[in-house]
Chains A and B, each alone.
Chain A
Amino acid sequence: MNFRVIYALVQRYSFLYLRNPVRGFELVFWPAMELLLWGFLSMYIQKETTGDFSNFIRFLIGATIFWDVLFRAQMGVSISFLEDMWTRNLLNIFVAPIRIIEYLAAMFCMGVLRVSIVVIVMSILAWFLYAFNLYEFNWYLLPLFASLMVFGFSLGIISVSLILRWGQAAESLAWAVPFMIQPFSAVFYSVETLPKVMQYVAWCFPSTYIFEGMREFIRTGVMDWHAILYSVLLNIVYLAVAAGIFIWMFAKARKLGLLTKIATQ
C-alpha cells in the first residue's frame, strides 16, 4: 500500500470541497436539519404529554447523531466514487498505478473526514439547543463510532460495487442502501419494538448492537461491552463480504467492458 497515492486521492477530493463552499455547506446542512427536526419534535412531545421524557429526548438526539455517523461514512465512500464518475475522471484513475486497496483507503479517509466534520457540528448544535452532551460518552464514543463507521464503509463499498456493475441506473442506491437497513437497525426505537421475525434480522446488523448500546449507556451509564464485541465481529464479516463483492463486481466490469462505459457516460 502506497500512502502517497492515498494522500493524492484524498487531496483530490479535498480540493473539491475547498474550491466549492456549497459542497461544504451541504455537508453540514442536512445533519443540522435532522437534528433540529428530531430535537424539536421530541421537545414538543414532552411538552404536550405527561411523564418523564428526558431519556426519550436524549435517545432521539443521540440516535440522530449516531445514525449520521453511519450514513456519512457510507456517503463518504460512495460520493467519492460518484465524484470521479460525474467529473469523468474514473478513466484517468483506473489507468493510473493505483491498487484497489489504495482507492478504498482513500475513500475511507474521506468518510472519516466527513464524519468528523458532521459530528463536531452536530455535537455543538445539540449542546446549545438541547443541552445534550455527546461527550458524556467519553472514550466509549470511539468504539461506538468506529463500529458504525466501519459498517458505513462496508455499505459504501457495496453501493460502489453495484454502481460499477449497473452504472448510472444504480446511482440512487448510493443514497438508498443505508435506509434499507435503517428500520432493522433500531435507530430510533428499541429492538423489542420490532415484530419477532424482524428482530432476528435486526440482530444480524452491527449497527443494531451500537444503537442498543447507546440507549443502554444513556439509561444506566454503563457500557455493554458485549454489544460492542458482537458489532465488531459482525463488522469483520460485513467488511470481508463487501470487499469480496467489490472485487467480484470489478472483475465482472472488466470482463464485460463496463469500466469505460461508466467512466465516460
Chain B
Amino acid sequence: MSKAALFIKNLTKSFGDTIAVNQLTLAIKPGEILGLLGANGAGKSTTMQIMLGLIKPTSGSIEVFGMDLEKDRIQILKRMNFSSTYANLPSNLTVDQNLKVFAGLYCIKNSKDKIEEMMDLFEIAHLRKKVTGQLSSGESTRLNLCKAFLNDPSLLLLDEPTASLDPDIADKVRTLINKLRYERNLSILYTSHNMRDIEAICDRIIFLHKGSIIVEGTRNEIKKHFKEQSLEEVFIHIARDGNLVDRMEKEES
C-alpha cells in the first residue's frame, strides 16, 4: 500500500495487437499536479479512462488512496472527480438542475449550500436558470469544473480543461484550479495540448509516447534534458521522433 494519492504499477492495455499503454508506472503525491503529455494516440486518454474505471487494463494495478480501483471502485469514485471538455453535462437541463442531480449522485451533504458555494466560486451563479446547451465554452467549462469540485475530491482528473477557452478565461481557470489545489491539498492529473497550461500549473510532467513514459521530471528538468527553450519545442520533437530520448542517451554515452 503506497502513500501516493494515485499509484499505477506496470499498467498495460492492449487492444488486439495494438498496445495502447505499455508497462506504465507512475504516482501522484497528495497536493501534486502531474501533467500527462503526449501526441494524439500516445496513450493519455486510455490511461485516464483506465484510472476512471471505464477501461479494464490488460495487466498491472491501480491504487487510489491506497485502495484497489477494481475492488473499491465506488469508494474511490466518491473521493475523486473528473472534468473534460469532451464530456459536457446534459445540454437540455439548466445549470441548477444539473448540479442538483450530480450533488445527489455524489451524495453531497447540505447540497444546496454546496451548490451555491461552487457556483459563487466559479462565478456562474447568475447562470443558474440557463439551459446548459446555451452556455458559452467558457461558461460550460466552469460548470464542468463546478461539478468536478462538488464532492470536495482528493483526486481530480482534468482532461484538457482549458481547450477552446480564450486566453483570459483559460488563465482564470488555471489560477482557480491552482488556488483550490493549495487550499485543499488536492492531487490533480492534468492533460492538455496547451503547453502554457502545463508550464503554469504542473509540478511534474510525464511525456508519453506509444503508451510508454519517454521522459519524466519538472518542466525545467525536461527542457534541460532535451536542450530546448520551451515545452512546446520538446513536445514537437517527441511527437515527430519518439526515439529522440534513446538517440540523446546514445549521444551522451
Residues of A at the B interface (CB closer than 8 Å) are: 2, 4-5, 7-9, 11-12, 15-16, 19-20, 84, 87-89, 91-99, 251, 254-257, 259-260, 263-264
Most buried by A among B56, B93, B101, B106: B101
- With beta carbons under 8 angstroms apart, the residue of B54, B74, B94 that contacts A259 is B54
A-B contact count (CB 8 A): 104
* B interface residues, Cβ below 8 angstroms from A: 13, 15, 20, 45-46, 49, 52-56, 73-75, 77-78, 81-82, 84, 86-94, 97, 100-107, 147
The 10 A-B pairs of least Cβ separation, nearest first, read: A8-B104, A91-B87, A97-B77, A87-B90, A12-B101, A254-B56, A96-B105, A97-B78, A95-B52, A89-B90
A209–chain B nearest beta-carbon distance, Å: 38
Q: How far is the CB of B149 from chain A (nearest CB, A)?
A: 14
Q: Do residues B89 and A92 form an inter-chain contact, with CB atoms below 8 A?
A: yes
Contact of B92 among A87, A94, A95, A251 (CB under 8 A): A87
Distance between A104 CB and nearest chain B CB, rounded to angstroms: 15
Given the interface pairs A97-B74, A97-B78, A257-B15, the reply to whether A5 lies near B87 with Cβ below 8 Å is no
A88-B15 contact given A19-B92, A95-B82, A96-B102, CB 8 Å threshold: no
**Most chain B CB inside 10 Å of its own CB: which residue of A12, A94, A95, A251:** A95
Cα distance A9–B105 when bound, in Å?
Answer: 7
CB distance from B20 to the nearest CB of A (A): 8
- Is B55's CB under 8 angstroms from A260's CB? yes
Q: Is the beta-carbon distance between B56 and A255 smaller than 8 angstroms?
A: yes
- Which chain A residues lie closer than 8 Å to B103 at the CB level? 8
Contact between B86 and A264, CB atoms less than 8 A apart:
yes
Contact B97 A95 (CB under 8 A): no
Contact residue among A15, A20, A254, A257 (Cβ-Cβ distance under 8 Å from B101): A15
Identify B105's interface contact among A5, A91, A256, A264, CB under 8 A: A5
The answer to whether A5 and B104 touch (CB under 8 A), given A15-B93, A88-B87, is yes
Known: A2-B107, A257-B46, A264-B86. A96 touches B93 (CB 8 A): no
Contacts A95-B53, A254-B53, A257-B46 aside, 13 further interface pairs with beta carbons under 8 A come to A8-B103, A8-B104, A9-B101, A11-B101, A88-B88, A89-B90, A91-B87, A92-B82, A94-B52, A98-B105, A255-B55, A260-B49, A264-B87
When distances are taken between beta carbons in the complex, the residues of chain B under 8 Å from A99 are: 74
Chain B residues near A2: list those with CB within 8 A.
Answer: 107
> CB-nearest residue of chain A relative to B13?
A257
**CB neighbours of A260 from chain B (8 A):** 45, 49, 54-55
Closest to B45 in A: A260
